[in-house]
Structure 1
Amino acid sequence: MTMTRRVLLGAGLTLPLLTRTARAARTPGTLTFGLSSYPPSLLPWNNTGTAAVTVKFLIFRGLTSYDAKGTLRGELAESWARDGEAGWLFKLRDATFHNGAKVTADDVKWTLEQVAAEKSTAFLRTEFQGVERIETPDAKTVRIVMKQPNVMLPEWLASPHMPIIAKGSTEGGAPPVGAGPFVLKAQERGVSLDLVAFDKYFKPGLPKLKAIRIVAYADENLRVAALQAGDVDIIEYVPWQSMQAIEADPKLKLQTVDGPFMALSFNGAQGPFKDKRLRQAVAYAIKRDEIVNAAFFGRGTPLEGLPIASSSPFYNPATAHHWTYDPARAKALMAEAGVAGGFSTTLLSTAQYGMHKSTAEVVQQNLAAIGIQVTLNLPDWATRVNLGNRGQYEICVQGTTADNNDFDGTATLLDGELPPNNARSVGIRTPEIHALYAKGRAEFDLAKRRVIYAELEQLALDQCPMVGLAWRAQGYAMARDVQGFTNLPGALNFYSGLTLEDTHFG
């Protein structure tokens, strides 16, 4: 079966009609997860995509995380509280790393120092450079003192890119040692990973499964067919064209939430989009309802402002529909920028995910209508991530989400003063936006934070470091007897792998 599947993948074939009347036999206590791509890497502090996040949540745990309702909860930290003007005090649980060593305050201190180090490539390096000092009064107590008061620290520590690693375990290129519910036992690069339950996991009775087998199905039709046939028990990134059939299948069930979205990023360091007027022109040229229909089969809504969910306390209805379709305005902006006759550009996306490819094609068509001729670059996902990280594009389709459900979670998308990352435009300096994010983090009063972010929002809509396109209904599909898995709400959707510790068959 493995060789057959690999041949199919290598040939780029799809099997949309592959089904069996009976589900395949399972290994008792083992769940098979159909992942949308093989993780480019499992480096604990780097952002290498959602597929990697799901696997990292099996292997690692941080100080905090989220429950099934999206509420912040303790993980390796059993409690935390403000301690002074700029400090936070964390009390650690009795927990064990996969190498048998106890999780201590020294491990936490070492981890944070690695993330903030000068040559660190960590996703949250800039944020944790805001740490003034870390104190370890005893093995179970960590005091983190920030350079400025910071309301967001517990949320940052919940990021999948901020797990606590056993001190010194990465020396000499050794794999990082975590304290998650599962241990990685084997992997076939590009194909599969096998994990077994960690018998010293710090939560009594968890994980509920004995093992999880991760199998990469880059072809979305093959991924759905594998679920229908019983070769896998759960899949992520359910293609929108398959959702109706899955809902109608009595052997299966579908969980969807809004939160992830499609957007455009730009290269502001060179090329035409150094000029914000051309970024604005693109924003007004897109028929967002066409993206909802073409990429998501109607299962989504246009995103005409910043990616702030209507359920958020920071949602502003006055700016939610800022980028309405207005080709006349787009052409006027192009004329102001001196390119009334149009110009040519390139757009980076990927053909590995249908939503990315379809979004790129709609954008290409819409921009052609105002005189911008777009050449598509549609590599595989790993190449797309690498090109995005290096800023090798002029326009780039994003399929992403905010880091969390706080307004500050959009900083990774909009703050051009942060280090380069594939989820953010390259070369667009935003010092005023950066300063307002810092001001918002230092404020603990919700009403005052709303005022700060309202000003930030106006700046972001003017500068266009990211142009929203469409909210999408993001789905996981699974066998009917899979219990305990939860599709987390809003911006936390990509963190749903957290709930695999609770998942079981019933």
Structure 2
Amino acid sequence: MTTKMNRRGFLATTGAAAGALGFLGKAAFAQDGGTLRFGLSAYPPSFDVWASNGTAAGTIKLMCHRGLLSYDKDGVMQGELAESWDVGEDGTWTFKLRDANWHDGTPVTAADVAWTVTEAQKADSAAYLQGQLATITSIETPDEKTVVMKTDGPQAVLPNWFAHYNMSIMKSGSERDSMMGAGPFKLVSTDRGVSLSLEANTDYYKEGMPKVAGVEAIVYADENLRVAALEAGDVDVVEYVPWQAMAQVGDNDSLQLDTTFGPFMYLTFNGSKPPFDNPLVRRAVGHAIKREDIAAAAFYERGAPLEHLPIADASEFYNADLANSWNYDPDKAMALLAEAGYPDGFDCTMLSTAQYGMHQSTAEVCQAYLSMVGINVTLDLPEWSTRIKKGNEGSYDLSVMGTAADNNDPDGLANVLDGSLPAAYARSYGLETPEISELFKKGRAIFDAEERKAIYKELEQIAIDTAPIMGLCWREQGYGLAGNVSGFSNMPGQLTFYSGFTLEEAMLG
């Protein structure tokens, strides 16, 4: 039986129908809450609020900024600067803003939201969601607390865009790298490459938050030093606990290990030139690699092979009949290479990074297996900011990438798969995906659950056939915490990189 879902039913499933949160007013602070010391894996390459520059940058931005919406610790959408949101029968979305102030004490208004969206829509904005935002055709502000967005067609997933950590609202006229936001902390000082200091925003709109007086974010690019700093008590929280150290942290009675399963490793391709402009070659790469060895070498058995699109088996959109479509089959890989005109293989360069051990180890396993089918890979392993730059510029033949979907809806994979979006390091360079792009567009316009399942299954089959990316491995993602830290949480599944949201609730003692 087909289940029909109207707009109101769809809203209920996203949390929007109960969008208003019971925030009780301005924060009441415990000024003796202490300073939380957070061990970052990298110094943010940029503070551009709407650009994607990795988890470390996202964590800092989430301390200073807030969007219209966010997710709670269980992954349910909730209000932030918007206290409620609704969609009309004509597909128009309306957001009602709560009382909130910018760090400079001035009120957050509907005009700020309209300016933010208009700026992020611009082709040169470098906004992670620029392509999606371009579908918003008008923004009306009938009063200071109401924002009305009209789109070029129904957009069932529009709230997900405004819950994304790269879509914070900015004060009208701000520079894109301004850290003057409406979030729980204010950036006080920076020591480039070393640390960042933040203090509590005493005018934050949530009562009793943040719960610490400040955060000192300290960079430990070396993953072993990051763990050592946690064990020594030099920091209270660290991101990216290396997989080889997870048991060590988890078994330490004075520490806590908070992990989730959802991020994934995959390959992107430079589709602007041979040989990876050919889908047969891209599929050959997938069949040449034994993914169990990546799980073992890079993730110390805290990973699992990924031989299809990264849709978890617990998802209602999971298709068991497609789960092994990119299975390890070296004979098939060599047959595909021969069919593509490369019976003797070829030489190429694989971009990765030495800054994160799992990226380098994944690249090394791929290099070894590809050599067995005649693809001779030279590794390029720069530090993270250079890796991002090269990825954005297409300065590679194929590359190792690791991320999570933007959210737990299949549309959250658009920024990995949709070649119609502006160039970005998280997806293949110069590779057009017209059928996939059209199906994403179709899926966004549908509110019926069963219709959406059919659309995304068709999309997955086309992706398997054309390989705009190549799935490699699911992975666990972990934060390490001192025993006296509470409140902070590793958010579930694909939302793990949103975990910086919960720093407003972190406590010491």
Q: TM-score, normalised by structure 1?
A: 0.93
Number of the residue aligned with 1:327? 330
**1:165 aligned counterpart, secondary structure:** coil
In the alignment, the residues of structure 2 paired with residue 137 and residue 269 of structure 1 have an alpha-carbon distance, to the nearest angstrom, of 46
How far 1:174 sits from its partner (Å)?
7.6
Q: How far is 1:427 from its partner?
A: 1.3
1:62 aligns with 2:72: no
Q: Please list, as runs of the form range in 1=range in 2, the aligned pairs for 1:324-363 lying within 5 A after superposition.
A: 324-363=327-366
| Residue 436 of structure 2 corresponds to residue 441 of structure 1 | no
Q: Secondary structure at the match of 1:183?
A: strand
Q: Find out whether 1:264 has 2:244 as its counterpart.
A: no
Distance 1:42 1:282, change over 3 A: same
The separation in 1 between residues aligned to 2:163 and 2:124, in whole angstroms, is 23
* Residues 55-76 of structure 1: per-residue CA shift (max 9 Å, x gap): 1100000000000001110000
The separation in 2 between residues aligned to 1:39 and 1:279, in whole angstroms, is: 32
1:28 shift after superposition: 5.8
Aligned mate of 2:424, from 404, 418, 421: 421
| Counterpart check, 1:183 vs 2:214 | no
Contact 1:38 1:191 in 2 (8 A): yes
Query: How far 1:310 sits from its partner (Å)?
Result: 1.5
Query: Contact (CA 8 Å) 1:86, 1:147: kept in 2 or not?
Result: no
Q: Does 1:93 align with 2:89?
A: no
Q: Does the CA contact (< 8 Å) of 1:104 and 1:140 recur in 2?
A: yes
| 8 A contact 2:259–2:478 mirrored in 1 | yes
In 2, Cα distance between equivalents of 1:257 and 1:28: 28
1:176 shift after superposition: 4.9
* Correspondence 1:431 to 2:434: yes
Q: Aligned partners of 1:28 and 1:475: how far apart in 2?
A: 25
What is the deviation of 1:169? Answer: 2.2
| Structure 1 residue 115: Cα displacement | 0.4
Contact 1:239–1:354 under 8 Å retained in 2? yes
The offset of 1:430, in angstroms, is: 0.6
Alignment of 1:87-486 (within 5 A): 87-170=92-175, 175-486=178-489
Q: Deviations over 1:92-131 (max 9, x none)?
A: 0000001111000000000000001243221111111101
Secondary structure, aligned partner of 2:320? coil
- SS of aligned partner of 2:321: coil
Q: Which runs of 4+ in 1 moved over 2 A?
A: 173-177
The answer to whether the Cα contact below 8 Å between 1:44 and 1:56 also exists between their aligned partners in 2 is yes
Q: Aligned with 1:379: secondary structure?
A: coil
Q: In structure 2, how many angstroms separate the alpha carbons of the residues matched to 1:262 and 1:175?
A: 31
The 8 Å contact of residues 252 and 479 in structure 1, kept in 2 or not, is answered as: yes
Letter in 1 for 2:102: F
Give how far 1:322 is off.
1.1
Task: Give the letter for the 1:391 counterpart.
Answer: G
Q: Which amino acid aligns with 1:36?
A: S
- How many Å apart are 1:49 and its aligned residue? 0.8
User: Amino acid of the residue matched to residue 134 of structure 1?
Assistant: I
CA offsets per residue over residues 419-451 of structure 1, 9 Å max, x none?
A: 100000011111111010000000001111001
Shift of 1:175: 2.5
Greater CA drift, 189-198 or 27-36: 27-36
Residue aligning to 1:23: none
| One-letter amino acid of the structure 2 residue matched with residue 496 of structure 1 | S
Equivalent residue number for residue 37 of structure 1: 42
Q: What is the deviation of 1:167?
A: 0.6
Distance 1:471 1:277 in 2: 24
CA contact (8 A) 2:49 2:178 kept: no
| Greater CA drift, 343-352 or 114-123 | 114-123
User: Secondary structure at 2:43's aligned position in 1?
Assistant: coil
Q: CA deviation at 1:258?
A: 0.6
Classify the secondary structure of the residue corresponding to 1:259: strand
Task: Give the counterpart letter for 2:159 in structure 1.
Answer: P
Structure 2: distance between partners of 1:347 and 1:131: 37
**1:165–1:176 Cα contact (<8 Å) kept:** no
The amino acid across from 2:290 in the alignment is: K
Which stretch of the first structure deviates more once superposed, 468-477 or 174-183?
174-183
Give the match for residue 494 of structure 1. 497
- Cα distance per residue 1:281-338 (max 9 Å; x no partner): 0000110000000000001111110001122221111112111100000000011011
**Does structure 2 conserve the Cα–Cα contact (< 8 Å) formed by 1:345 and 1:394?**
yes
**SS of residue paired to 1:309:** coil
Alpha-carbon displacement from aligned partner over 1:386-406 (angstroms, at most 9, x marks no partner): 100111100100011111100
**DSSP 3-state at the match of 2:462:** helix
Work out the CA distance in 1 between the residues paired with 2:182 and 2:313.
36
Residue of structure 2 equivalent to 1:21: none
SS state of the match for residue 208, structure 1? coil
Rounded Cα–Cα distance in structure 2 between residues aligned with 1:333 and 1:215: 48
Partners of 2:352 and 2:400 within 8 A in 1: yes
The one-letter code sitting in structure 1 at the alignment partner of 2:117 is L
Native 8 Å contact 1:166 1:176 kept in 2: no
Gaps of 5+ in 2: 1-31
Identity across matched positions, percent = 53
C-alpha separation between the residues in 1 aligned to 2:124 and 2:46?
Answer: 19
Structure 1: gaps spanning 5 or more residues: 1-26
8 Å Cα contact 2:47-2:178 kept in structure 1:
no
CA deviations over 1:223-251 (Å, ceiling 9, x no partner): 00000000000100000110111111111
**Structure 1 vs Structure 2 CA RMSD:** 1.0
Q: Which secondary structure does the structure 1 equivalent of 2:401 belong to?
A: strand
Structure 1's 174 and 252: CA in aligned 2 closer, same or farther, altered over 3 A?
Answer: closer
CA contact (8 A) 2:307 2:323 kept: yes
Note if contact 2:362-2:400 (Cα within 8 Å) is conserved in structure 1. yes
